[in-house]
Structure 1
Amino acid sequence: MKRLSLTLILCLFWITPSAAQEITLKRLAVFPFTILSKEPLPGVSEKVQQTIQEQMEKDGFGMVPIGEVEREIALRKAPLTPELATEIGKKLNVDAIIAGSLVKIGPTVALEAQAVDLTGKLAPINLKFEGVGLASASQLARKLAQEAGLKIMGQERIAKIEFKGNRRIENDAILATIQSRSGDLTSTIKLREDLKAVYAMGYFSDVKVDVTDTPQGRVVTFLLEEKPSIDQILVRGNKKIKTKKILETMDIKQYSIASDATIRDNINKVKALYREKGYYEAEINYNLEPETPTEVNLVLDISEGAKLYVRQINFTGNAAFKDKELKEVMELKEKTLLSFITGSGIVKKDVLERDAEKISAFYFNHGYIKARVGEPEIEVRSKGIYITIPIDEGPQYKVGKIDFQGDLIEPADSLLGKVKILKEKVYSREVIQQDLTTLADLYADQGYAMADISPVLKENDQDLTVDITFDIRQGEKVYFERIEIAGNVKTRDKVIRRELRVYEQELFSATNIKKSTQNLRRLEFFEDVNFSTSPGSAPDKMNLKITVKERPTGQFGVGGGYSSQDRVVGMVEISQSNLFGRGQQLRLQGVLGAITRRYRLNFSEPYLFDKPLSFGFDAYNWEREFYEYTRDSRGGDIRLGHPLRWEYTRLLWMYRFENVNLTDMVANASPVLLEAAKIHNTSSTSLTIRRDSRDAIFTPTRGSDNSFTAELAGLGGDAAFTRFVADSGWYYPLFWGTVGVIHGRLGYVLKNSWGALPAYEKFYLGGIDSIRGFKYAEISPRDPVTNDRIGGDKFQFFNFEFRYPLYKKVGLTGLVFVDTGNVYGSGESYLSSMRTSVGTGIRWYSPMGPLRVEWGYNLNPKPWERRSNWEFSVGGNF
């Protein structure tokens, strides 16, 4: 390294002998140009003279100030002639003079001049340039100056630039770093700067410049000694991070030039990698081991040290908020007992930078509009990391006057009722941003897609208030010109377009774009849905592009559960929810187990004949062994549905026919069950009204799902009854990505006079979809003599859930729940007694499909019931 430093010093102040000659820059004088024109042209002569003067100074000539030239002319008190110009030039000790005239005949402008070399080395140089219009005079003057310079200094210009000694570094890469170019005047100062620049590239151990005179001009040659290239990168001493990961972090590759600067940059990248893993004291040194005369091995010697965690996070200057409150805002946490599992307590630079921004935003959202969060100070001591974040809070500002200005599509009082900042006591930047979005959507729904809305703040330091004026510039109304769809390989365009609430040639609407996005996501055909806009063919036109990323919609599924009575039961399902890309659903399901066997075929067409009329049917064969009997059911149904005028609301009609046989009845069975065994056929029709505004089906975070069904049986067959079922589920986004869920269902059934109500058409509860912790259909009124389950004519249950993200990156969700409800017989009323369970579970849209694992605990089990019960279901994609 000492030898390289000495070479650099020598190179910076020495150029090879042929280039050591001092380049003499000519000293010139430019005289005023004579104007030959029928019309007066005031100021044109001075402008031409000044333009030539400036251009030649730029080209490196030493120029006599124009004022000195004019002073000498004035002293002579005689018209300017070539002889007088020569005399003045000699007195001013110049090497050459330039003088001439501007001739204007009609629109044609001619600039004629002569450059005279007073040293006698060159013959006089005659120059002439023509243009059209007086405005061309400046351009003609610049051309004249450039041509004069070329001819006067022709032998001192660079004719060619060459590079010798570079093997891997391209000539163009070197040329891009230097200032000198072919055609430039040779400059010792500029060449020295070029030499420094080439050496600073880091690819050369020695750089020299050779300048040779030729009849065509000077040839500048850079003599280069290239550093060796890297043959292998060897890593030693690493145990905590694999060599492969270290090499992936570096951008030095095999056969790269061994540049010190590049190597140091890559070492810093490896250090950053170690710090992200908690090894804050990792030290990395390097050396170059010769392999061949032109190749070396780069060896990294790593001392990893111990993993260090954040022991303490401190704040200085905070008075309004306690350290604990500020720490809750941060993503970076102090070390805990579970840090070795969760990874908390590891310092990551980007996370710490985000945390500083989060703390600033926290202050801004609590009225501290002048708060400043300084650069976090990181200190390593006592085998731990201590972080100190300086804060300058400033005063807290309250909300002052709220006003609107600009283009108002509604009265100010009406707009005032739409903003939330009015309800805030202190200023909040977050609430202001929400209000800007609200106002932007309001204008966008009226077609003003490009409305510019900005808050104008006026701080009142005396009473510590902030007056807020929303400045609105609505712009022009915008229409959708063209709607394009991209990314759909399987799904047909019409399946996507029929879910849109925006249409070509209609006004822009932000609300309808949001609804369209939600509708497409609810299909669950796509992993991602993205809407983007671009300008149309006119200022009031806009193109909309919808880009989707499809997910596998074919599924095979397995599921099961276990209880002391049901034992193991398994389910196999094959389904396609986007059949042939038409949005149709086809499902074949089989449930097999020790006590149950069930087969089901399901088909659904959401848009029959491309109309918003849904159609579907089911066919099934179901056999299940209950404790009291074995039920064998065969049947099917036909369904039709149509949207109503209310958003998210549909009316559904269904006809169902089912044949049921009860066999293997227990000895001394309940008379209710014996009667049911004689009733076989159920023929019924039902109407359902349903409103579903959930943002997703499997793991919704907001919205609701409400329905009411009325079913009439007795259209033929043996059974005759009327049944009502109401269902309601509500989903509320809470804090930190959590979701609250309230779900309830109740039902009532009564026997019609012209038929019977068999026990198997009554209500039962228990299982993963009703009250968890109880096995399937376990909750039921029982015969007081035989204790057989006989079903109830009314029921209700409620589910209360708290869902929280376990691992956001993969969509793993945890939940805790409370389930309560019961089934009631004749003479009992709703809520007269309740069965309750609590529990926990996880949900995950896994690569194998939706997965549920849930455990319920029966708070008050009856003698024949288990204390707890596990259940799970999982599906898979293909």
Structure 2
Amino acid sequence: MFTYKVACIFFFSFVCAESPKDPQVLSKVTLKGSLVGKDRFLHSYFIEPGDHFDIQKHQHSLEKIKEELIQEGYLAPHVTDQLYPLADGTAIKVVITLDPGYRYTIDAVTFTVTPSDIEKDLTAYISKSLVRSYCTQELLQWSAHSIKEYARARGYIQRKLGYTATKNDKKGTVSLAFQLELDVKKQYSFKGNSFYTTEQLTTEILNFDFKGIPVPSCFLVEDLEAFYKKRGFLHVVVTCHEEADAFSFTIVEGPRAFITAITLTGDESTMKALLVKRCKALYGIYDEDTIKKVLHDCISELHLHGYWDATLIKKGIAQYDEYGSELSLVLTLGEQRTVQDVLIAPYPHLATQKPFSSYVNLSEVRPLSSESLRKQKRYLQEYLRNQGYLYTPVNYSITEREGRKVIEWSMDLTSGPVLFGKTTIVGLSRMKPEVVYRELHYKEGDVWNQHAIEYSLQRLKSLGLFETISLGPEIIGEQVQPLIMKCCEDDPFEVRTRFGFQLVSKSFTHLSWSTYKVGGSFLWKNPTGSADKVGLDLDFTRYTRMVAGTYEVPWIGPVPIRTFFKVYSDRFDQPLLSRPHQRLYKEAHDGASVTFFHSHPWCQSFVRVGLESARVYGISERLAQIIQFDSHLVDKRTPYLYGESSMTVEHFDNKGDPSKGFYTLLSLKAMVPVGIKKGWFVRAFMEQSFFYPLYRSVIGAFRWRCGHIFNAQFSTILPTERFYLGGPTSVRGYEKNMVPPLN
């Protein structure tokens, strides 16, 4: 879907020299120009909508945008700006025009290498990747890294690398000339190695010499010996013979250590036997990485048992017998934290909650893990924040009361909860401030509630009238917390176009049953300054034609009920699967409706009433009998009065990826025809879904739905108002309600 936005604003060619008394704030930043995806440069503009406009930051932002264009290969960009004060003079709109010009490509690469041994091969290697590519900063950085690696892999150390670029503005190309200075080539040879290959040893030496600084041979010997010892060659001996620019290493690997015994010394406790059992994974070939992992797991186990300060280190390894070696470990446990009860003085009822309940009123002491302590603290901090205590520290102490160890949680609540202060709105241009204030889910003087802020932002964003909007504390740490809302209104006019191809059937052998899909929408946002919207929607396929005009207002007087006024004209053709060019029936709907929509944080509901003229045509009497439709109503326009209500209730721990919660949908629709005594019907529908964790990451999901049509005479019910299969929740591979009879 492509979206085009047209701003209905008359621009002037100058900015008044006289500044307003109060500092101007930035209302909006707009990027203009033919560059595709130009909005990505907005992150380089350092002033946020709603902040005070600073001309120095503005100029610096323009330079930053120009710099980013150059980094993307636009080597001769032009960035211009225009500043438009709004009518009241308190805000300013910035329009930045980007003229990137050519995006330069690399047409030639040359090298001057000293010494010149690898000049020809290096030129061919780098040219393959650079020539005919865009001259971006990322590509040049990759080239510098590749040149260094290419030289290092051939035994050279890079001393200096530079380049000059020659632009051809007429063709939009650039030629790169690299200058590379190398130290004398180094050659490495190895004798006696069998465990590691020559390539692996060479790579290890080159990695050790990663900064390109010549390293004495003794350091290289130590590095190779450490490289071997990590894999159990504890008695390896490496010698080096250096001649000019060649290093010859002689390696005596020796036997590889095999652990057949483990001794654990240090603090004595019941944990010692458990650790010895866990360390059995170390028996076998000596490996440093395996030892680190096992010791880390042992420390984690000790923390779970209350030993927060425990350490387990490797003391050494020695020959145990003729068959293997002995690994010596030293254990230091430190103090064990244990508790029998939990005391939360201000909120004793919280002790029954999950993080605390397993430590409450125990007959024997229980180890307190550091992770359990962190969970308890996070729970209390979150609980306090929900009560409005944003800056209250949470502390603990483990004390002894009447011979029982108790963990006491303390918090100083004398200052009281944080209260909502005044909310300041900046950045509005066309919208009335009272329209924004009425969407807030809190009042000045209320106890601070983060959920109220989040829900207020959700309501404001759902209006669809802001490009960006944020709400947060103006000054951190105040007991009466003022807030600042920064708004950037969207353009008043928006045109959307959409087109595509739709495979209605899941059968790829019946592609002729599929259809194109073309449509468009026109939106006029906030025409009266009251957050209202005027819209026109057009959608066409081979089987449908939908035209609708809408007018939306978010409130009815003082009540937050969103109201939609709609006038529509729809056409629907039901195709036959076996004969896609023929229609089973055609149906037309023309009418008008009013919808009242209300939203809660956990519930959404709407009520719709309307008047509609419906007609079924293009169907023979025989086919009408097959689908049980009264043939007397064929090709007859019938007016209907109808009403519909629906309610959705949902509660999930995570809407995007739920593991626990439920979803409920209730719907009721009644239609009463004018002039047909037995043509009324009432359609009821219910859908229910449950999610519940079964085991670890295994989530159980259960879903069911049911519906029934209460009617005086079934054959008078319009075909499109009946229940059909099709859609992702019934028969997958078909569009919703696209599996009617005969298909």
Report the TM-score when normalising by structure 2: 0.49
Report the TM-score when normalising by structure 1: 0.42
Please identify the structure whose Cα radius of gyration is greater: 1
